[in-house]
Structure 1
Amino acid sequence: MSTAVTKGQAPYYFVPGPSRHPMMAAVGLFFVVLGAGQWVNGVEWAPYCVLAGFIWWAVVLKQWFSDAISESERGLYGDRIDLSFRWSMAWFIFSEVMFFGSFFGALYWARLHVLPNLGSIDNALLWPDFKAVWPSEMAGMTASPAGTVEPFRTMGPWPIPTINTALLLTSGVTLTIAHHALRENLRGKCIGFMWLTVLLGATFISLQAFEYYEAYHHLNLKLSSGIYGSTFFMLTGFHGMHVFVGMLMLLFITLRLMKGHFTADKHFGFEGAAWYWHFVDVVWLGLYMVVYWT
């Protein structure tokens, strides 16, 4: 049962009562995984199972977050809970660093170790026509001398990736301005810059979708385009997904600001979303330099 609370005073450490939300969220994820597993095997009902699972999961999260927001607005979250949230968000972002680190590591290993090794004298008898060149823009230039990888062109840094870089860097500035405005209790200014940040994030996603269209239809660059194609789409695709999630976080924070939530002194919900967004910005800078320029 929840901690007893003196009116107007937050508990030392709030302990919520029993909740159905974890179990219900697990049910939704079960149907997502079940449907995804059957989808790759060509089962007709699988896409509908995935969709139903996501809808179920989203409804549960909405209810779960609504309960947490209600508890926060009732003043149940004291300093100990605030510290818990900060540590939780820090460890979550650390896990995201490791997540992207694995993909950057795969790109590094393929380019600086695997490719030179395959093109060495030791493998000359096995693949005499192999050319250890990066990026691999035609069949036979990577570990596919038999021509199983279709010819393609690589994605350069101009214009869309560079424009997207400017958009994300600008969004980091507008978010910082909004944060300082909130700390100074300038709610109107804060909300205005938050909407601008959300708009910049949405524009980034739209331009990346157009970039993918160009890649598939004009460059013949696909996920199956050798190690270059797989690392390109894994890195940029997962980053785009994180931008989308971050944009949703900032959108919901903005809507809460418009409802009068958060104060100049207590607004970790805002800060946590800002941490995540700045992390996404930093990852993009590394991705922009490594994937598009080198």
Structure 2
Amino acid sequence: MSASHVAQGKEAPYYYVPADSVHPVRASASLLITLLGAALWINGSTIGFYMVLVGLLCLFVVLYGWFGDAIRESEAGINSQRVDHSYRWSMAWFIFSEVMFFSAFFGSLWYAREFTTPMLSNLDHQTLLWPNFSGTWPNFGPAGIVPEFKTVGPFWLPTINTALLLSSGLTLTISHHALRANHRGKAIFWLAATVILGFTFVGCQAYEYMHAYQDLNLRFDSGAYGALFYMLTGFHGFHVILGATFLTVILFRLMKGHFTADHHFGFEGAAWYWHFVDVVWLGLYLFVYWF
């Protein structure tokens, strides 16, 4: 019987059910404060900014305690094989929901390019609705109502970001194999490299946004192209931040001696998520920057 299935010399329960927790209620209250603050902030209220800060700070405190409880349960050996299976299925369905999330935005990009734009440029629509509308992608809207902007090409920053993410997937795989071989020092080194590459990607994308906004005049209201560009790349960047944060927590756990060669789903779950982020970026790189 492995360490993760043993608690004080006895086999772990068939299915461990934790005690009642206040974490979900506190997390909900924190998110409510954050969203209300964001609504007030967008509408010009000064207090909205401070509400967002307070809500996010409270959320981080709640998550710290919540994650800590889950980690202590795992390290105490009270998670049985059934609980491990539950974690795996939960993570798999969560990633599937993320696939559907990004599929909606990729579908919007495809529909706007292949259907909406050509349809609006046909003779009937030009005569009745928008004369002189150009059916090219991207465009400046009917009668040029969208201020002129330039698109973001694949060279060089998006290509550099692609190399960073693909390299991070490789270093993460090396770290995983090292952990399975019980080489903890090697696993820590390559996981640290993965975290650095991930946050470097975020920094490069922030620089890209500044360049697009200031030099290319590409903004969120730059027609369908601008909206979809920032929605797709922005949500992906948020997922990179989230995934890099996951991996940072796993890195500190590795340094504290957590996980074994046979039982390390916390590591595996974070790795699944990171590889998903890599795959989504490849789609973005092709369909947003190249096509």
> Is 1:206 the counterpart of 2:227 in the alignment?
no
RMSD over aligned Cα, in angstroms? 1.0
Deviations 1:262-290 (A, max 9, x none): 00000000000000000000000001000
Letter in 1 for 2:243: G
The structure with higher relative contact order (CA 8 Å, sep 6+) is 2
Farther-moved stretch of structure 1 (123-132 vs 236-245): 123-132
Displacement after TM superposition at 1:201 (Å): 0.4
2:105 alignment partner in structure 1: 103
The answer for the alignment partner of 2:51 in structure 1 is 49
The offset of 1:6, in angstroms, is: 6.3
1:261 aligns with 2:264: no
Query: Once the two structures are aligned, what percentage of the paired residues are identical?
Result: 58
1:236 corresponds to which residue? 233
Q: For 1:260, what is the secondary structure of its paired residue?
A: coil
Which stretch shifts more, 48-57 or 271-280? Answer: 48-57
Q: Which runs of 4+ in 1 moved over 4 A?
A: none
1:194 aligned residue (191, 194, 213): 191
Tell me, yes or no, if structure 1 residue 165 matches structure 2 residue 162: yes
| 2:273 is aligned with 1:276 | yes
Q: 2:87 maps to what in 1?
A: 85
Deviation at 1:198, TM superposition (A): 0.5
Change in 2 beyond 3 A, CA 1:6/1:251 = closer
- Name the amino acid aligned to 1:58: F
Q: Deviations over 1:195-251 (max 9, x none)?
A: 000011011111101100100111111111111100000000000010010001011
Question: Are residues 1:35 and 2:37 paired?
Answer: yes
Question: CA shift at 1:7, angstroms?
Answer: 3.9
Go from structure 1 to structure 2 and tell me whether the alpha carbon gap of 1:91 and 1:179 turns closer, same or farther (over 3 Å shift).
same
Instruction: Please state how far the C-alpha of 1:9 moved relative to its aligned partner.
Output: 2.2
Task: Output the CA distance in 1 between the equivalents of 2:207 and 2:40.
Answer: 30
Alpha-carbon distance between aligned partners in 2 of 1:18 and 1:286, rounded to the nearest angstrom: 42
Matching of residue 132 in structure 1 with residue 129 in structure 2: no
The offset of 1:43, in angstroms, is 1.6
Deviation readout 1:35-54 (Å, 9 max, x if unpaired):
12222222221111111111
Matches within 5 A, 1:48-67: 48-67=50-69
| 1:152 correspondence with 2:154 | no
More divergent stretch after superposition (124-133 vs 220-229): 124-133
Question: How far apart, CA to CA, are the structure 2 residues paired with 1:124 and 1:105?
Answer: 25
Amino acid paired to 1:72: S
Aligned residues: 284
The SS at the match of 2:16 is coil
AA aligned to 2:270 is A
CA contact (8 A) 1:8 1:75 kept: no
1: CA distance, partners of 2:145 / 2:138: 16
Cα offset, 1:18, TM superposition? 1.0
Counterpart CA distance in 2 for 1:99 and 1:164 is 22
TM-score, length basis structure 1: 0.95
2:4 aligned residue: none
Amino acid across the alignment from 1:91: W
1:113 equivalent in structure 2: 115
**Contact 1:93/1:279 (<8 A) preserved:** yes
One-letter code aligned to 2:59: W
Q: Could you say what secondary structure the match of 1:45 adopts?
A: helix
Q: 1:124 is paired with a residue of what secondary structure?
A: helix
Residue ranges of structure 1 left out of the alignment (5+ in a row): none
Distance 1:117 1:24 in 2: 49
Instruction: Describe the superposition over 1:56-93 as per-residue Cα deviations: whole angstroms up to 9, x where unpaired.
Output: 11100100100110010000111000000000000100
- The 3-state SS of whatever aligns with 1:235 is helix
What is the TM-score when the length of structure 2 is the normalising length? 0.96
